[in-house]
Structure 1
Amino acid sequence: MSGHSKWHNIQGRKNAQDAKRGKIFQKISRDLYQAAKAGDPDPENNPQLRLVMEKARAANMPKDNVQRAIDKASGVGGAKFEEITYEGYGPGGTAIMVSALTDNKNRTAAADVQHLLIMVDHLVPMDQFHICLIVKATLSF
């Protein structure tokens, strides 16, 4: 069978599987961070953390990734996550409140929140779409 490459077939499948696992690991890592930050970083004293750790084990997440997320939440790691709230008014005077957990305020505002608003823009005619975002609860609807 000339032209047949077993590695090429494996590579295509592996890339898709790795991307899928990466998304799952990212979500679990964020959940681990939140659980460890909200309570004790020791799973014996924090049932929420213990539950997320079981979820990580079920997804075959490496132990060093789990430990890294817990260390980051307890202050051992480098990045500091913070909860940020954006408030504003959207199309037709609709009140919008976006809460996000981020390690980079600029990226969250510029990329993630704008992406959500672009999705809203597809539902609303452009001439009616005006939005103003204000950082941290200054409006408090």
Structure 2
Amino acid sequence: MSGHSKWSNIKRKKEITDAKKSKVFSKMSRLITVAARDGGADPDMNPTLRLAVDRAKQANMPSENIDKAIKKGSGALEGAKFERVVYEGYGPYGVAFMITTLTDNRNRTVSEIKNIFSKAGGSLGTPGSTSYIFDSLTFEPSFRIALESEEQLKKIENLEEALEDQDDVQEIYSNYEL
């Protein structure tokens, strides 16, 4: 029994679950804030806000945090001003990506996304560089790029995981298939 204690085991598990919850709650909070800012603070009159609140409740986000995010979005509370920004780029093997973000600092977000793309062997494009590939409403690609090996798939999945780990990233769209 030497070398470990019950509390250290609990603490380690708790740290992992708390980090996951924190990441989800911060994304939900941003969605709620922007939805409240764009369409009003009443979930009955704002379907985007209602959907964001429902998703937050499904993720077990505390009601206090939801109310605080709505108040920030409606201007009742001071807080960071989030804006929706779409980034476009190409990953390895010519796979096109569109990344939607909610950020309070465009410069930080663009440098982080550019860094992720360059580490994965891709490049961040200019506005319009990949948007012609995706439908403007559904983000369905007009054509797909077939990956030929598990190694290629793994490289693309690693890029997607790195992008998802970035706090500001909300949605990732790409045009690859197996």
Identity fraction in percent? 47
1:23 maps to 2:13: no
Structure whose alpha-carbon radius of gyration is higher: 1
Equivalents in 2 of 1:87, 1:55: separation in Å?
A: 26
Match in the other structure for 2:32: 32
Q: 84-93 or 99-108, which moves further after superposition?
A: 84-93
Aligned length: 130
| 8 A contact 1:33–1:73 mirrored in 2 | yes
Match in the other structure for 1:72: 72
**5+ residue gaps, structure 2:** 133-178
Match in the other structure for 2:13: 13
Match in the other structure for 1:109: 110
| 8 A contact 2:72–2:79 mirrored in 1 | yes
Q: Read off the aligned partner of 2:84 and give its amino acid letter.
A: E
Deviation at 1:24, TM superposition (A): 1.7
Deviation at 1:29, TM superposition (A): 1.4
Please provide the CA RMSD for this pair. Answer: 3.4
Secondary structure of 1:43's counterpart equals coil
Match in the other structure for 2:43: 43
TM-score (norm 1): 0.68
Secondary structure of 1:65's counterpart equals helix
Equivalents in 2 of 1:89, 1:59: separation in Å?
A: 32
Deviation at 1:34, TM superposition (A): 3.1
Equivalents in 2 of 1:24, 1:66: separation in Å?
A: 13
Equivalents in 1 of 2:50, 2:124: separation in Å?
A: 40
Secondary structure of 1:101's counterpart equals strand
Q: 106-115 or 9-18, which moves further after superposition?
A: 106-115
**5+ residue gaps, structure 1:** 125-130
Secondary structure of 2:56's counterpart equals helix
Q: Read off the aligned partner of 2:83 and give its amino acid letter.
A: E
